[in-house]
Structure 1
Amino acid sequence: MSTPQPPMPQAAPAPRWQAAPGSPFPVYTSPIPVVRTHLGHAVASEWTKIRSVRSTLWTLGVFVLLVVGIGLLTGVVVASSSSDLSGENALSLGFFGLLLGSMCVITLGVLTTASEYGTGMIRTTMTACPTRGRVLAAKAIVFFLTAFVVTLVSVSVVAFLHVAMLGGNGAREPSGGEWLKGTVGVALYVALLGMLSLAVGSVVRHSAGAITIMIGAVLAPLVIALFMFSSSLEDVRQALFEYSIPNQLSVFYANSLSESGPSGWDPLWIMLGVTAVVFAGAFALLEKRDV
């Protein structure tokens, strides 16, 4: 008895040539269905990139370690001491870990765009998606959602731990509005700070340079203000304190470093406005410059 042979694979359909209406010359018609690309395809591509590179794992891993680790350590130290937190918001101690962790989000934001210029990958990206604005928009969407979710989970864990640990030290239970600001609000702010870094990386096109600029933007106002001893510069010194990123971040925990300046949700609107302006510049330059 003969052994049955497996079926032969079918060849791909041959290309079809059809005469164009009103023309004696044939026109090629591809047998492969052509799908019109859209923003969703670019988002899927950028999601594949951001989850497959090591920098994402390292930066977000260190971010979680700093936020949760320092938050937990601070809570343990305060809870085991005789510190009286009477009337203090139990969420306020989460500020210290998040301030350090924001450096990791800044770094990842810059690398999301600037690293492709260093490796030359940007040419492949732009060849696959010639609509440059769509590429930058897809990067921003993927990065914002990633940074927001990771930050929200991290600060929420720290918030629940502090409320459970600091009740014996007189810390008060946060209100609903304070819970919203100390978790969702601060996560939105940090994600926007990372998006600002992403836009700066697109403008500068150099990872180290863009990271330096962003770290300077975070720390320089406070450092400069510390050395303004002249009374004639008191207004400038106060403004640097009030609108510095660390002070705006502390507003979400109701422990602002200054008595005046932004309050409530003001820091979020300020960061949103600054990020929008820088992104507009990044879009304009992306369309004009070569890759």
Structure 2
Amino acid sequence: MSTPQPPMPQAAPVWQTAPGAAHPTYTSPIPVVRTHLGHAVASEWTKIRSVRSTMWTLGVFAVLVIGIGLATAALVSGSSADFQGENPLSLGFFGLLLGSMCVITLGVLTTASEYGTGMIRTTMTACPSRVRVLTAKAIVFFLVAFTVTLVAASLVALADVALLEGHGAKDPSGADWLKGTVGVSLYIALLGLLSLVVGSMVRHSAGAITIMIGTVLAPLVIALFMFSESLADLRQALFEYSIPNQLSVFYANSLSRSGPSGWDPLWIVLGVTAVAFGGACLLLEKRDV
């Protein structure tokens, strides 16, 4: 009885055969494209718009900024409070201060959540340039945060001016409008970008969010409990450079007469974010994924 012979393997199609003397003009049917930053940006845009956390955080942000801004203006316009000579745009401060927590949370989740799920391994495999990945995340997040904040802040500003018309509020100048909409939106977006960088360095969502919330609130809270006269200078500095006070500068309503003024808060947060971004890039190159 003869043993059955296994079937002979069939030859691969011509286009699948390896290049060589028989096929010197072989070209792969799969196009080879040199990747660049644009591809990484497109990838990060797909990520940020397809996860639920983006819609939830930005949705709550819009509700807080617009809802509190309109409610405050309605309360002031319906009361007998004297608003003579005050900037009506300043009523948007309260909503933006609370809404900044949503932007901070989204910034942290943009980077730290990938370490928690392990998705960062896939990301770094698809794009081995780690600095390019972080840069793409920063670009996409900053544009999203700035656009959403600008739209919300502008709607609140327009509504507040309309509601307080005839209540003694001053007519905002062009500089007031620029700082109260574009300026404050840049500040909030940079604050969120700083959160993104901290999330990249800490690699833990809860830890990074705690650090950023402490950065926003701790200086002001600590200053409130500094009663000793020997700590007066430190207390004043904490008040002046706390993030709530820097945010109020954009509405010419600072908590102190000295300290940052004009566009100073924007340059401060820009410098801090740039230094933190550089540190995050160095850590990305030295640490394992």
Same fold by TM-score, threshold 0.5 exceeded? yes
Matches of 1:62 and 1:25 in 2, distance apart? 61
Q: Secondary structure at the match of 1:263?
A: coil
What amino acid sits opposite 2:79 in the alignment? S
Following superposition of structure 1 onto structure 2, how do residues 12-51 of structure 1 map, counting pairs within 5 Å? 14-15=15-16, 17-19=18-20, 29-51=27-49
* TM-fit CA distance, 1:19: 4.0
Following superposition of structure 1 onto structure 2, how do residues 152-167 of structure 1 map, counting pairs within 5 Å? 152-167=150-165
What amino acid sits opposite 1:64 in the alignment? A
Q: Secondary structure at the match of 1:247?
A: helix
Following superposition of structure 1 onto structure 2, how do residues 182-221 of structure 1 map, counting pairs within 5 Å? 182-221=180-219
Q: Which residue of 2 aligns with 1:131?
A: 129
What amino acid sits opposite 1:228 in the alignment? M
* TM-fit CA distance, 1:18: 3.7
* TM-fit CA distance, 1:113: 0.1
Q: Which residue of 1 aligns with 2:269?
A: 271
Q: Which residue of 2 aligns with 1:140?
A: 138
Q: Which residue of 2 aligns with 1:83?
A: 81
**Contact 1:19-1:25 at 8 Å conserved across structures:** yes
Matches of 1:205 and 1:219 in 2, distance apart? 22
**Are residue 229 (structure 1) and residue 230 (structure 2) matched?**
no
Matches of 1:265 and 1:84 in 2, distance apart? 28
* TM-fit CA distance, 1:52: 0.4
What amino acid sits opposite 1:176 in the alignment? G
**Contact 2:15-2:26 at 8 Å conserved across structures:** no
* TM-fit CA distance, 1:272: 0.1
What amino acid sits opposite 1:219 in the alignment? L
TM-score with structure 1 setting the length: 0.92
Once superposed, which parts of structure 1, at least 4 consecutive aligned residues long, lie more than 3 Å away? 15-20, 24-29
* TM-fit CA distance, 1:168: 2.0
**Contact 1:15-1:28 at 8 Å conserved across structures:** no
Q: Which residue of 1 aligns with 2:57?
A: 59
What amino acid sits opposite 2:184 in the alignment? V
* TM-fit CA distance, 1:43: 0.4
Q: Which residue of 2 aligns with 1:103?
A: 101
Q: Which residue of 1 aligns with 2:117?
A: 119
Unmatched runs of 5 consecutive residues or more in structure 1: 1-11
Matches of 2:53 and 2:190 in 1, distance apart? 19
What amino acid sits opposite 1:198 in the alignment? L
Q: Which residue of 1 aligns with 2:244?
A: 246
* TM-fit CA distance, 1:14: 1.3
* TM-fit CA distance, 1:128: 0.6
What amino acid sits opposite 2:52 in the alignment? R
* TM-fit CA distance, 1:167: 1.5
**Contact 1:16-1:29 at 8 Å conserved across structures:** no
Matches of 2:135 and 2:217 in 1, distance apart? 28
Give the counterpart of 2:288 among 277, 287, 290.
290
Unmatched runs of 5 consecutive residues or more in structure 2: 1-12
Q: Percent identity?
A: 79
**Contact 2:100-2:188 at 8 Å conserved across structures:** yes
**Contact 1:221-1:240 at 8 Å conserved across structures:** yes
The CA RMSD measured in Å over matched residues stands at: 1.7
